[in-house]
Structure 1
Amino acid sequence: MVATVADPRPGVHLSEWTPTMAVLGPLDSGFMELEDTDRHVSVGIGAIAIVAGSPPSPAELEVELAKRLSVDGRLHQKVHRTPWDLAAPTWVTDPNFDLAHHLRWLALPAPADEDALCDLVAEVMEERLDRDHPLWQCIVVEHLVDDRWAMIVKVHHSMVDGVSGITLFERFCDDPAERPDTAAPNAADPPIDWRGLLMKSLRLPVDVPRFAVQTLRAAVPFALSAVLPAAGSSLNGSIGRQRRYTVARASLPAVREIGAAFGTTVNDVVLAAVAAAFRTVLLKRGEEPTADKLRILTPVSVRAADAKGALDNRVSAMLPLLPIESADPVEQLAMVHDRMVEHKASGEASAANSFLALARWLPFASIAWTVRLASRYPQRGISGLATNVPGPRRRLHLYGQEVLEILAYAPIAMRVRISIAILSYGDQLRFGVTGDYDSTPDLHLLAERIEETIDQLLQRARDTVPS
């Protein structure tokens, strides 16, 4: 469901020169800088599992979770930063690791329904993770209505992206024999190819400048889209510390049926529903939904299949304008499809990824200060975020109980007041909608309109089938 691009780097493959030590990449450390620059921002991402029955006891959970932490050493590591950012932050083992720091038990007030759960998710996720410890938490929520409980897995964005985050959640589930593999086990170090290293070193003075020029030329249109202001709207502006959270639900087979009927992808259908929802919100606010008003950030995975479990960020991005000027959902779907084809053909995501690869060669201090300055810049070009992550296809269990649903949470930052995290699980498709508390009191309207639009598109799709 999430778009992917191949390694875009022409000529020299800079990945061959990536340091092997546990250093945070430019994007990983950039999420740290976002928090450091804006006291209102918390960049934890979350998976919220709604589970049948009752949770295990605290003692049982701690014993079982301790066993499951062996899936990746990163879960025992915290971030170490150098003075004045002279070097990139590194992951180091926490010598005082204590699982109790990472477990919380909460209960909902009556009636313990979905509204109460969403309020709790917003409250939990707006809190920053403690940098003195590894950057993750498991929060158990007891006594949901209809004999259910929930577990929120909260991880700092510097540690995972959407794909690696949901893979980490799967590793916490039962059936260890079926859990996704961790990174390939460490094998014996191969003999050093000194001749190959020498040849690569000799090529660098030629290859790296050429790569830099090609990257910058391709990345300029992407950068201009992010920097140049779009038409003003209430979707973009300062954000506070508090959050709102709500959920929209759809059937994945239904979305696939829509895509098949109109010759589009699942991701196109999702973005068309998002466009219709934003149009409705703007109209309700008394704002004109013009064609230049909603440019949205859509992350694109560049993660190879054999790196699915690596805990880091491997994403690029595109910045399409969503067709909120149209009132017809089928027309919106066609326009979204055409625009996404155009963006993919332009190499926009590849250029952004190449830019991140190039950043690995720059002094870290320059990267840190660039992110800080960008975070303080009142950007007006991007008005929303929508990230679409493929989730587990099989049914999962937590401590012997079936996982009924999985919801996703994506943070907001840099004046983007609404983010939408779309996650599949089996035949389910869930939209986790995060908003700034003060500026998005109508967040529920956006979720409702997403559901209505998918229903309308499904009906129109079936109307096109000859009887």
Structure 2
Amino acid sequence: MEPTTTSCPRRPPVWRELLLGLGLFALYLVVDSLGGSGRTHAAERNAQWISRVETRLHLDVERWLNGAIVPHHTLTVAANYEYATTYVISALLMLVLAYWKTPAVYRLARNSFVILNLLAFGCFVSFPLMPPRMLRSGFVDTVAQDATVGSWGSPLVAHANQLAAMPSLHIAWALWVSVMLARLSHAHWLQLVSAIHVAVTVVVVLATANHYLLDAVGAAAVVAVAVLAAEAWTAEPGQLATADEFFLNVEDGPNAQNVGGYVILDPGGGTCPSRDDIRDLARDNLSAHPRFVSALDTSGRRPRWAGLDTMDWDLHITQIDLPPGSDQEALDGVVAHLHAQRLPRDRPLWRIAMIYGLPHGRAAFVVLMHHCMADGVGGVDQVLALVRPTVDPGATQHRPPGRLQSVLAIAAGLGQLATDGKPSVVLDVGAGRTSLGTVQLEFDEVRRLAHEHEVTVTQLLLALVGSAVAAASPQLTERCRNRLRVSVPVLLQAPGACDAANSTAAVIINAPARAANPTDLLPEVTTFSRALRSPTRALASRWVMSSALRMVPAAGRRAFAHTVYGRRFFNGIVSNIPGPPGDMFTLANATMAEVYPLLPPAPGAPVTVGALTWGRKLGIGITTDPDVLDAHDVADGLRTGFRTALARTPRPQDTPAARPTAPGQPSSSNSRGAPQARTRKSLARSRGESRASPNTSRS
């Protein structure tokens, strides 16, 4: 069972690449020919504006660096030649090396280099900028002073375009070389040398008074856009998206990152399906889903999905027989053990287990897949292929935000993420074991309770979890100062709407954790969860995961994943997963009586809670680190908290507003506005699990 891989990309003809380079240079000459007094005046005005902005931001370091280098002739000459030569030499070497060594990387390098320069040329035309050395501000033009060969200091290029400071092509090319080297080689020493070259280039272009510091910022932006555009343009078939690769990187040691669910099957007087029945069902229905019949190929610069010549279905579908008399807790223990096992990476990253020996002839169906294949929502949608009646997962019904809205939201979200707090305490890490608890609630009661308190189902779930954790371990919540830092996944688009299997982003919020009636915690939950009502954090988080990380080398992506995902930033995960519409579903002719989601714990975060709406039930799966918190204690606390909240919340027919009024008396509901419109709005908010656009989220 070997992955079938595509043939190695061929090198494009040299003559065609040289022609492309000459065309790019010819375009630069056209831009260079633009001149006139009006352009010079505009360049000077722009330079003065840039100078004022830098002064206001305390970034005006050019004069200090220029004054520091001028008295040292040898250092000045060295800086001049570094300025005139190294960015060209390094870029040419990068292109030649990639062309000779790795044609696939060469295509990415060439495309991004062309886009980079086209963007820069556009900036030169639309925003001419005079460098500091041309201003009458006391700067010394070191390149001209020492007659540097290869620059305007010599007759060779005396007529070079000198009003093209934004962005700095010197810095842009040097930074581009560093990014491309990360695609070509993972050698740390090479990355270090490249980083030093970028740093030296930044200092040199400022010290020689050829650029402003903001020109370097412009260069970084141009490189980012160019590389992202080229990545999208030249992506390898089946390449793993960075948002999906993230969960491969965080799977370290005992932290298996498997999503899925388990189902209690009721034969209804017959018999539950056998392992062979499930194997045939999976083979007939999952073969059309590429990732179920593909393995990861890690031989290239990025992991990619590669289809298999043959598929061993028996290897992925197993049978477990429980001892006679096994109860729900024993079943949870077996499922927790399966959930915690890492899936072998030399085969498709999923497995199914049929567990027999439950009372009344019931059986359990457990499906697990690696988080890089799907998130919680995507996992549900993929498994729906096995369910009858067939269900169309559907698509997001809301228009996504426009491009400008997205850009502004991402910018705001990045600022919010940078200033968000951290947990009040970093909890101890256990031995890597997991425990599992399950709770099934009537969804109509959950929805009614949320409606009566004018909150969403997700907000109610946060209150229930906070109350249950406090009841299960008062010492833990006391250490956390009665406040958990919780990661809440937010659905941004329908699964399958993009190349990434993970279509959610995480928003981290505080949640109260006290041994109290959960409804007493709802005011705090409502305040803390305001971040869920705005798309900015989710969009920014998604942009970092799916776009920004594409420019980061593999080692950097791994380091980022280990840094941000886990106990240093949050204590747990709470996810409300939308289920399919309908009341009754079967799997291989057996009724799906109970359905529970299985979500992986984050490294060092002791509790993960997933809630899945299935028919008229809300199935809740609770995964914990038993060395810190017992899942069954949390499950018991959640049941108790829900019963307490229901008992203390009057039913609609028991409230004064619901009782009939005497003739001539005003209705209390009418005195508060249109009750039907208000009820419809509250119900829409309280369900909370519909597929939503970023501006409504799943919260």
Counterpart residue number, 1:76: 293
Counterpart mapping for 1:102-113 below 5 A: 102-113=316-327
Q: Is the 8 A contact 2:249 2:562 kept in 1?
A: no
Deviation of the 1:374 alpha carbon = 1.6
Q: Please state whether the residue corresponding to 1:321 is helix, strand or coil.
A: strand
The equivalent position to 2:602 in structure 1, one of 413, 426, 430, is: 413
Shift of 1:172: 1.4
Structure 2 equivalent of residue 355 of structure 1:
544
> CA separation in 2, counterparts of 1:369 and 1:286?
31
1:269 aligns with 2:460: yes
Query: C-alpha distance in 2, partners of 1:306/1:47?
Result: 19
CA–CA distance in structure 1, aligned partners of residues 313 and 535 of structure 2: 47
| Distance in structure 2 (CA, Å) of the matches to 1:182 and 1:23 | 25
**CA shift digits 1:390-426 (9 cap, x unpaired):** 1233221111111111111111132101111111111
Letter of the 2:649 partner, please give it: A
Distance 1:311 1:361 in 2: 13
Structure 2: distance between partners of 1:30 and 1:125 = 19
Alignment of 1:90-109 (within 5 A): 90-109=304-323
Q: Which residue of 2 aligns with 1:222?
A: 417
Tell me the equivalent position of 1:188. none
Structure 1: 5+ residue runs without aligned partners? 1-11, 184-206
Structure number with larger C-alpha Rg: 2
Q: Which residue of 1 aligns with 2:239?
A: 23
**C-alpha offsets along residues 243-280 of structure 1, whole Å, 9 cap, x if unaligned?**
11011221111111112111111111111111111222
Q: The residue matched to 1:46 in structure 2 has which SS?
A: strand
Cα offset, 1:366, TM superposition = 5.1
Q: Partner of 2:296: helix, strand, or coil?
A: strand
Report the more deviating stretch, 310-319 or 113-122. Answer: 310-319
- Structure 1 residue 388: deviation in Å? 1.0
- SS state of the match for residue 91, structure 1? strand
Aligned 8 A contact 1:253 1:427 in 2:
yes
Rounded to whole Å, the distance in 1 between the matches of 2:568 and 2:242 is: 23
Task: Tell me how far apart the structure 2 counterparts of residues 450 and 214 of structure 1 sit (CA, whole Å).
Answer: 36
Please name the residue that 1:56 is paired with. Answer: 273
Indicate if the aligned counterparts of 1:26 and 1:367 stay in contact, CA closer than 8 A. no
**What's the counterpart of residue 578 of structure 2?**
390
Whole-angstrom CA distance in 2 between matches of 1:104 and 1:180: 28
Match of 1:124 in 2: 338
Alignment deviations for residues 166-204 of structure 1 (CA, whole Å, 9 cap, x no partner): 1112111234xx233699xxxxxxxxxxxxxxxxxxxxx
Give 1:320's aligned amino acid. I
User: Deviations along 1:416-459, whole A, 9 cap, x unmatched?
Assistant: 0111111111111121111123332x322211121122222222
Partner Cα distance (1:232, 1:379) in 2: 9
**Are 1:299 and 2:511 an aligned pair?**
no
- 1:318 correspondence with 2:511: no
Separation in structure 2 between the aligned mates of residue 343 and residue 64 of structure 1, nearest angstrom: 39
Give a deviation string over 1:359-399, Cα, whole Å, max 9, x none. 25414425433335527x98433111111101233221111
* Partner of residue 451, structure 2: 260
Structure 2 residue runs without a partner (length 5+): 1-224, 396-402, 660-699
**Under a length normalisation based on structure 1, what TM-score does the superposition of the two structures give?**
0.81
Moved more, 247-256 or 329-338: 329-338
Taking the aligned partners of 1:211 and 1:267, their CA distance within structure 2 comes to 25
The answer on whether the counterparts of 2:259 and 2:598 sit within 8 Å (CA) in structure 1 is yes
Q: What code does the residue aligned with 1:386 have?
A: V
Counterparts of 1:414-429 in structure 2, within 5 Å, are 414-429=603-618
Structure 1 residues 49-58 or 419-428, which shifts more? Answer: 49-58
**Using the alignment, how far apart are the partners of 2:255 and 2:479 within structure 1?**
29
- Secondary structure at the counterpart of residue 230 of structure 1: coil
- Give CA-to-partner distance per residue, 1:3-59, whole Å, 9 cap, x none: xxxxxxxxx9x8994747322111210111112xx2111111121011012333333
What amino acid is aligned across from residue 241 of structure 2 in structure 1?
G
Match in the other structure for 1:246: 437
Task: Report the secondary structure of 2:360's partner residue.
Answer: coil
- CA distance in structure 2 between the partners assigned to 1:294 and 1:217 by the alignment: 25
Residue identity opposite 1:60 in structure 2 = D
User: What CA distance in whole angstroms lies between the structure 1 residues aligned with 2:459 and 2:634?
Assistant: 18
Contact 1:255 1:266 in 2 (8 A): yes
Q: 1:211 to 1:398 in 2, by over 3 A?
A: closer
Amino acid at match of 1:453: G
> Which residue of structure 2 aligns with residue 444 of structure 1?
632
Cα gap change, 1:378 to 1:462, in 2 (>3 Å): closer
Once the two structures are overlaid, the 10-residue window that deviates more, 400-409 or 348-357, is 348-357
Q: Is the 8 A contact 1:24 1:89 kept in 2?
A: yes
Counterpart in the other structure of 1:169: 383
Alpha-carbon distance, 1:112 to partner? 2.2
From 314, 319, 333, the equivalent of 2:522 is 333
Q: In structure 2, how many angstroms separate the alpha carbons of the residues matched to 1:168 and 1:34?
A: 23
Corresponding residue SS for 1:461: coil
Aligned residue in 1 for 2:100: none
Say if 1:276 and 1:329, in contact at 8 Å, map to a contact too.
yes
Distance in 1 (CA, whole Å) between partners of 2:529 and 2:515 is 17
C-alpha contact 2:259 2:599 (8 A) present in aligned 1: yes
Q: CA deviation at 1:153?
A: 0.6
TM, length-normalised to structure 2: 0.55
Answer yes or no: is the 8 Å Cα contact 2:333–2:436 preserved in 1: yes
Is the counterpart of residue 280 in structure 1 residue 471 in structure 2? Answer: yes
* Match for residue 231 of structure 1 among 396, 421, 424: 424
User: Is the 8 Å Cα contact of residues 300 and 317 (structure 1) preserved in structure 2?
Assistant: yes
Q: Across the two proteins, how many residue pairs are aligned to each other?
A: 416
Report the Cα distance in structure 2 between the residues aligned to 1:142 and 1:232, rounded to whole angstroms. Answer: 42
Three-state SS of the structure 1 residue aligned to 2:527 is: helix
What letter is aligned with 1:416? A
| 1:143 and 2:357 correspond | yes
* Deviation larger for 127-136 or 449-458: 449-458
Q: Which residue number in structure 1 is paired with residue 391 of structure 2?
A: 179
Q: Give distance in 2, aligned partners of 1:378 and 1:148.
A: 37
Letter in 1 for 2:456: T
Q: What CA distance in whole angstroms lies between the structure 2 residues aligned with 1:151 and 1:223?
A: 42
Q: 1:286 and 1:59 mapped to 2: Cα distance?
A: 47
| 1:30-49 equivalence runs, <5 A | 30-35=246-251, 38-49=252-263
Contact 1:297 1:384 (C-alpha < 8 Å) held by counterparts:
yes
Runs of 4+ residues over 6 Å off in structure 1: 210-214
Aligned partners of 1:418 and 1:434 also within 8 Å? yes
Native 8 Å contact 1:282 1:288 kept in 2: no
Partner residue, 1:115: 329
